[in-house]
Homo-oligomer: A and B are copies of this chain.
């Protein structure tokens, strides 16, 4: 009588890792996102080498340890062998099917009625590392990083500040606008971010000044790690595009607005972005997100239909993903006082104008090759509501509507010591919560120069 069963008592949907059964956990047995970790409490340094794991509750499952203990089925063990390098690169390169086999095999092992664990309770200690005893690393070797501009609300908001008469450029509704980002300066959640120094020039300035940015911002984005990729010269048809997406993470695309304003014409943002980009460490698979599929964003009446190479029959049913995204901010003073971080924005990834499949199909439409581990970011996720604006430039409407923190401090842009935490999760009654964990970064004082 499945219809009458409370799903939270179905043994296939519960784990013997207790914390995974907490409905507030980001990492129930239905999620099992991939990441790379290092044990921080390990006595010998070899054991502290990077290892591939999946998150479950407050624990990390060591995939290679599971394989070595014979706990995976055949397909799972084959996929686990791809994790022996301590990076996700090879698993990503193998395509989404390998990750699916591995998650299925791990799910069988982790469910509350697992025969293997019932037979031998000591298995747990041999394959689990508490998250508290682990350092999380970048999940993959990111060859190229591309940043899109897929939120029409963001593009309209920013455009209206600078071009009130025609906020949205004529190409926006036709072209999934994007640009190449800097891969070398991508860092994992928790890495401090130093305020960048650069050239800026206000309208009143005779000459540019050089010094630490005075308009440092965050940008709330969703990242897509590429799985198998495509060969140079071979575009990916839209119908196959999503198979190229291994999984998603949260991205903070830190931006120095004053540097950007002065440098970006005519070739786009450069040093305003390349000082740091923070990613959350867990890669949530599209399989895990399947229950949170929603129709793609509804284009306004009069908007053009996507061109044929960007049109998918699936869009109306499942082109979007209903991921709730939040930004929390705390100042040094708040943390000293014990004041919890303040939520400054909340929106949903379902409001993006372009789908993930469209971003991939467009990116490769000229023959450009994507490689496993490449990162595509969505661009700032903003919705139509004020509280869903995904960066301070929009949230404070170009500094005209400052935020007031619980301490009475005011913010238009980020101050030294401010910490930004981004979170993403999917939630709906009767379904397991699928969370992303967090993407965290604290601003460190910049080094003055030239002034």
Interface residues of A (CB under 8 A from B): 143-144, 147, 149, 159, 169, 171, 174-175, 177-185, 187, 194, 196-199, 201, 207-208, 210, 232-233, 235, 256, 259, 262-272, 274-276, 304, 307-309, 362-363, 365-371, 374, 447, 449-450
Contact = CB atoms under 8 A, between A and B. Distances in A.
Contacts of A447: 235
Contacts of A363: 271
A174 B209 CA distance: 10
B180 A271 contact: no
B267 A366 contact: no
A367 B197 contact: yes
Contact of A268 (B208, B266, B274): B266
List the number of copies, as a whole number. Answer: 2
Contacts of A274: 180, 366, 368
A232 B266 contact: no
A223 to B, nearest CB: 16
A385 B321 CA distance: 55
A289 to B, nearest CB: 26
A368 B271 contact: yes
Contacts of A171: 201, 208, 262-263, 265
Contacts of A183: 143-144, 183
B181 A180 contact: yes
Top 4 closest pairs, chain A to chain B, by CB: A268-B268, A196-B366, A180-B180, A179-B267
Given A175-B199, A268-B266, A374 B184 contact: yes
Contacts of A259: 366
